[in-house]
Chain A
Amino acid sequence: QKEVEQNSGPLSVPEGAIASLNCTYSDRGSQSFFWYRQYSGKSPELIMFIYSNGDKEDGRFTAQLNKASQYVSLLIRDSQPSDSATYLCAPGGTGRRALTFGSGTRLQVQP
């Protein structure tokens, strides 16, 4: 089993819809969870982080964490074409000193 699993996509949603991106992880010791957005040819940019079970909202973004199910998701409300990018999930706070990144989900928002 991979340490971090994400559906590679592409996930295609119409403009204005809710995009739901999912991530499962194998290390039960993970304490923190980070979502990065990466535009094509650019470096990853941190957009959300969550440490506790439940939901965390920041503008149009909501991160949801369920540690019992080892599952973290990112919801993007009112999706815009500018949200089209690859979204990387990275659990932290494990025994490893470095973050382990999922391979990312490519999101396409259709105008």
Chain B
Amino acid sequence: DGGITQSPKYLFRKEGQNVTLSCEQNLNHDAMYWYRQDPGQGLRLIYYSQIVNDFQKGDIAEGYSVSREKKESFPLTVTSAQKNPTAFYLCASNEANSNQPQHFGDGTRLSIL
């Protein structure tokens, strides 16, 4: 079955630690996205990538980094510079055309220890 796989489902971060969230898709989509969702809030765009080896900052990129070395994979690193990382992180993908809907993975819930 085609889809988007995010791992882990739950993640805990210690003070000063970087953590990496995984996102893999087998939909052959060119574009991939990372969103952050805080309780009771909408989705805010962190980073997106339209093509391999290229990515752009979204609205709240500070404290995060990404890479896009393979079409299937778009990992997100939450760095120690992100002082309030507790949130629900969602990865999405679509064909590289904003007229097409985005499809989401099941999300990763990140908390501070």
The answer on a CB contact under 8 Å between A44 and B98 is no
* Residues of B75-108 contacting chain A, CB below 8 A: 90, 96, 98-107
Q: How far is the CB of B34 from chain A (nearest CB, A)?
A: 10
CB of B110 closer than 8 Å to a CB of A: no
User: Number of B residues whose C-beta is below 8 Å from A?
Assistant: 23
**Chain A: minimal CB distance from B56 (Å):** 7
A-B contact number at CB 8 A: 56
Q: Say whether A46 contacts B98, CB under 8 Å.
A: no
Contact in complex: A43, B99 (CB < 8 Å): no
- Please state if B99 and A32 are interface contacts (CB–CB under 8 Å): yes
Find chain A residues with CB under 8 A from B105 CB: 43
Cβ B41 vs Cβ A103 within 8 A: yes
Check B52 for interface membership: any CB of A closer than 8 A.
no
Q: Is the CB of B42 within 8 A of A101?
A: yes
CA distance A49 to B99 in the complex (A): 10
Q: For the complex, give the distance between the alpha carbons of A96 and B59 in Å.
A: 11
Would you list which residues of chain A between 34 and 65 have a CB under 8 Å from chain B?
34, 42-46, 49, 51
Shortest beta-carbon distance from B66 to chain A in Å: 13
Residues from chain A with Cβ under 8 Å of B56 in the complex: 97
B98 contacts A45, C-beta separation under 8 Å = no
B102 near A99: Cβ-Cβ < 8 Å: yes
B98 surroundings in chain A (CB, below 8 A): 32, 92-94, 96-99
**Is there an interface contact between B104 and A97, defined as CB atoms closer than 8 Å?**
no
- Identify the B interface with A (CB < 8 A): 31, 33, 35, 41-43, 45, 48, 50, 56, 58, 90, 96, 98-107
